[in-house]
């Protein structure tokens, strides 16, 4: 009997964890954003998730973990950020840096950052591997792959325009 109870508990725990795990970067970010929006009277629970997704197509560029950490940070924003674009931008930037710093760099990210740092060095621009990890740690593997293609440019202008093109 205890074996069946244990199996049921494990199944329940797995189902609960899976049900609460975001399936996309948009869902991961919007969970936190909607807490902020509802608390500050910007959006209601019934419209916030869809409006959040629709207004932020760029979330697809982030990893689920990165987007979730960013959303968690946004959930704690002061309501005054709603009316101040400059404050919103600076707070989002601070959350992005904090989110990237909180993510354990994967071997893929480290390899990408080594290549990007070397490419910028060849262009007489300094981007340390550490700074790269902080700047690019929240992006998805797909975006890192696209950016990785930028590390073999024919010119420094090509490197710059490639990176800008991927991130727009």
- DSSP assignments along 85-145, one per residue: HHHHHHHHHHHHHHHHHHSPPPHHHHHHHHHHHHHHHHTT----HHHHHHHHTTB-HHHHH
pTM: 0.79
Find the range with the poorest average confidence among 9-13, 19-23, 117-121, 149-153.
9-13
Reported as a single tens digit per residue, the pLDDT across 27-83 is: 999 999 999 999 999 888 888 988 888 888 899 999 999 999 999 999 999 999 988
């Amino acid at each position: 009997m205890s074996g069946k109870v244990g199996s049921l508990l494990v199944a329940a725990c797995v189902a609960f964890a899976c049900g609460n795990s975001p399936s996309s970067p948009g869902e991961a970010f919007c969970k936190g954003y909607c807490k902020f929006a509802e608390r500050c009277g910007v959006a209601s629970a019934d419209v916030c998730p869809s409006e959040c997704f629709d207004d932020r197509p760029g979330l697809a560029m982030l990893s689920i973990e990165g987007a979730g950490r960013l959303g968690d940070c946004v959930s704690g924003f002061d309501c005054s950020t709603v009316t101040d674009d400059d404050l919103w931008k600076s707070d989002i930037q601070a959350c992005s840096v904090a989110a990237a710093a909180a993510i354990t760099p994967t071997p893929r990210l480290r390899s990408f950052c080594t290549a990007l740092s070397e490419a910028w060095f060849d262009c007489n621009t300094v981007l340390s591997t550490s700074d790269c990890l902080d700047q690019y740690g929240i992006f998805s593997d797909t975006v890192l792959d696209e950016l990785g293609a930028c590390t073999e440019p024919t010119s420094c202008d090509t490197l710059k325009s490639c990176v800008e093109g991927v991130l727009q």
